[in-house]
Amino acid sequence: MINYVNANEFLDQSERIPVIDVRTPKEYCQGHVPGAINLPLFSDEERVVTGTLYKNSGRETSVIRGLEFTGPKLAGFVKQMHSLISGKELLIYCWRGGMRSESMAWLFDLAGFQVSLLVGGYQAYRRAIRVFLTNPMKILILGGNTGSGKTRILKALAESGEQVVDLEGVAGHKGSVYGGLGMPGQPTTEQFENDVHYALRKFNLANHVWMEDESRSIGSVNIPGVLFDQMNQAPMIRVETEREGRIDRLVEEYSVFGAEAIKEQTGRIAEKLGGANLKVIHEALDKGDFHAVVRLVLDYYDKSYEHAISRRKGREIHSLPLTGNDTRLHAMILLGYLDSIQPCQFMSYGNSLS
């Protein structure tokens, strides 16, 4: 017997039951439920053929062609499912919760699996995400100039039990022009939204959630508008660290990629740096002097960050000086500083922080 569930029930069950996405590989790559296994009923090409037939010749012709495509695959699907999951329960979805997921649900039910089907399919899941992100959140923004170690501090906060969403980690990009170096590649903006939602839904939104100060775009992906609006209105603790320490940290992080990679990425901001500075940077890279490079590039990023901060009028910004390079200590100092701030002074959407 096939069980039909709504998006929220589906997501709750996905914490313990395997999720099967039966859409095409192209659809899956564009965006999918995090953790879902792609077991496509049709290939990308077959989907185009059946869709064109449906449009031009009607449902019956399209269904018959679809059966011709899928008939020889049915036994293979069942064998794959047995190899992919160890239990008998599974969750299935397609684009709209229509023929593709219904067909696969029928097949796996027949094969003895306990199948739950997402009503409304992936579209319903995406609608649920958009609704979820409108919920008021007690966001805390960790700010600071480039090289302040914000990502490391966020990691330490998470390890201490704080609720943290590493937006740059989810985006697969560190934000700056060099942010893609050493990263595995970026998801689509749609998948980024799915992954951010997946992280947030595990949290108690009655308590504060830490995020790093970001622009709307992180590399090629965009933060959802409703979430970005909340981030812009959220209070910020801006960590202030010594400039030389920031330079050392950035050299350690980026020099491993080599001079040519740094040259290539620096070329993307050549106009903003100016021809004279770019020449000095190239000469320094040829000598392997990464400290000189970082000093010049940091001048540009510091000015850009100060300009961005100055535009955020009305936001509470609390400055916190930090010394040394002990990330765990910095996280503990940050939490102690947060405790010292009176709840009535540190507000988010009219609610005091827990």
Point out the residues that are catalytic. Answer: 94
CA distance 126 to 122: 6
Question: Phi-psi category of 274—alpha, beta or left, where left has phi over 0 and alpha has psi -120 to 50?
Answer: left
Map the chain to HEC letters.
CCEEECHHHHHHHCCCCCEEECCCHHHHHHCCCCCCEECCCCCHHHHHHHHHHHHHHCHHHHHHHHHHHHHHHHHHHHHHHHHHCCCCEEEEECCCCCHHHHHHHHHHHHCCCEEEEECCHHHHHHHHHHHHCCCCCCEEEEECCCCCCHHHHHHHHHHCCCCEECHHHHHCCCCCCCCCCCCCCCCCHHHHHHHHHHHHCCCCCCCCEEEECCCCEECCEECCHHHHHHHHHCCEEEEECCHHHHHHHHHHHHHHHCHHHHHHHHHHHHHHHCHHHHHHHHHHHHHCCHHHHHHHHHHHHHHHHHHHHHCCCCCCEEEEECCCCCHHHHHHHHHHHHHHCCHHHCEECCEECC
Q: How far apart are CA 83 and CA 128, in angstroms?
A: 31
> In the block, which residue shows the tokens 């090289």?
147
Distance CA 91, CA 250 (A): 44
Instruction: With beta carbons less than 8 A apart as the criterion, state whether 123 and 101 touch.
Output: no
